[in-house]
A and B are shown apart, each in its own frame.
Chain A
Amino acid sequence: MIAFWSRMALQGISRRRSRSWITIGAIGMAVAALTFLSAIMVGVNDAMIVNSISVHTGQLLVRSDKPLETTARWAEMSEFPRGMKAALPRLSAPVMLVVDSKASPVQLTGVVPERERIVSAVPARVVEGAYLAAPSAGAEILIGAKTASTLSVKPGDALNIRLPDGTTRPAKVVGVFRTGIDRFDEGMAYAHLGTVRDIATASTTGDVAVFFETGTPDEEAADIVKPLLREGERIAPWKALLPELDQLTQLNVVSMTIVILLVVIMVAAGISNTVLVSVMDRHREFGILKAMGVTPSELMTLILLETAMICAGAGLLGSIVGALITCAGARTGIDLGRFTSENPHFVMSGVVYPRLTWQMTAAPIIAVLVAGMIAALWPARLASKRKTADIMRMPT
Chain B
Amino acid sequence: MISLENVSKSYGNRQTEVMALKSVTLDLPAGEMILLTGPSGSGKTTLLNLIGGLESPASGHIRVCGIDIDKVGEKQLSRFRRRNVGFVFQSYNLLNDLTARDNIRLPLVLNGASEAECGNRSEELLERLGMTRRADAYPVELSGGEQQRVAIARSVAHRPQLLLADEPTANLDSANAASVLELLREIYRAENVTVLLATHDPLLVESAKRKVFLKDGSVMKTEGLV
Contact = CB atoms under 8 A, between A and B. Distances in A.
Interface stretch (B35-43, B60-68, B105-113, B185-193): B105-113
B97 A294 contact: no
A296 B110 CA distance: 14
B54 A392 contact: yes
Interface in A1-32: 4, 8, 11-12, 15-16
B106 A15 contact: no
B49 interface: yes
**Residue of A290, A292, A294 contacting most chain B CB atoms (<10 Å):** A292
Contacts of A293: 78-83, 85, 107, 110
Contacts of A11: 97-98
A291 B45 contact: no
A393 interface: yes
A389 B49 contact: yes
Contacts of A288: 93-95
B25 interface: no
Q: Give the interface size bracket for B toward A.
A: 20 to 34
B87 A291 contact: yes
Contacts of A8: 97
Interface string A102-139: 00000000000000000000000000000000000000
A222 interface: no
Interface residues of A, number: 23
A332 interface: no
A96 interface: no
Interface in B78-122: 78-83, 85, 87, 89, 91-98, 106-107, 109-110
B81 A396 contact: no
**Residue of B49, B83, B94, B95 contacting most chain A CB atoms (<10 Å):** B95
B92 A291 contact: no
Interface string A130-174: 000000000000000000000000000000000000000000000
A293 B53 CA distance: 10
B52 A291 contact: yes
Contacts of A294: 78, 82, 110
**Residue of B79, B81, B97 contacting most chain A CB atoms (<10 Å):** B97
Interface string A284-315: 11001111111110000000000000000000
Contacts of B81: 291-293
B201 interface: no
A295 B75 contact: yes
A331 interface: no
Contact of B87 (A292, A393, A396): A292
A252 interface: no
A396 to B, nearest CB: 5
B106 A291 contact: no
B74 A292 contact: no
B178 to A, nearest CB: 24
Contact of B74 (A15, A285, A296): A296
B32 interface: no
Nearest to A388: B54
Nearest to A11: B97
A393 B45 contact: yes
A16 B110 CA distance: 23
Nearest to B109: A4
B55 A387 contact: yes
A306 to B, nearest CB: 11
Contacts of A4: 109
Nearest to A290: B78
Nearest to B88: A291
**Residue of B49, B54, B74 contacting most chain A CB atoms (<10 Å):** B54
A396 B140 CA distance: 13
B91 to A, nearest CB: 7
A12 B49 CA distance: 28
Nearest to B93: A288
Contacts of B78: 290, 293-296
Contacts of B83: 293
Contacts of B89: 291, 392
A294 to B, nearest CB: 7
A34 B78 CA distance: 44
Nearest to A293: B82
Given A387-B55, A388-B54, A396-B92, A292 B106 contact: yes
B218 to A, nearest CB: 20
Interface in A229-257: none
A52 B97 CA distance: 60
Given A290-B54, A293-B81, A294-B110, 9 more contacts: A12-B97, A285-B97, A293-B79, A293-B80, A294-B82, A296-B78, A387-B54, A387-B55, A393-B45
Please name the 10 residue pairs, one residue from A and one from B, whose CB atoms are nearest each other, closest first: A293-B82, A293-B81, A295-B78, A15-B97, A389-B54, A389-B55, A291-B87, A389-B49, A388-B54, A293-B78
17 contacts: A12-B97, A16-B97, A284-B92, A288-B94, A290-B78, A291-B52, A293-B78, A293-B81, A293-B107, A294-B82, A294-B110, A295-B79, A296-B78, A387-B54, A389-B49, A389-B54, A393-B45
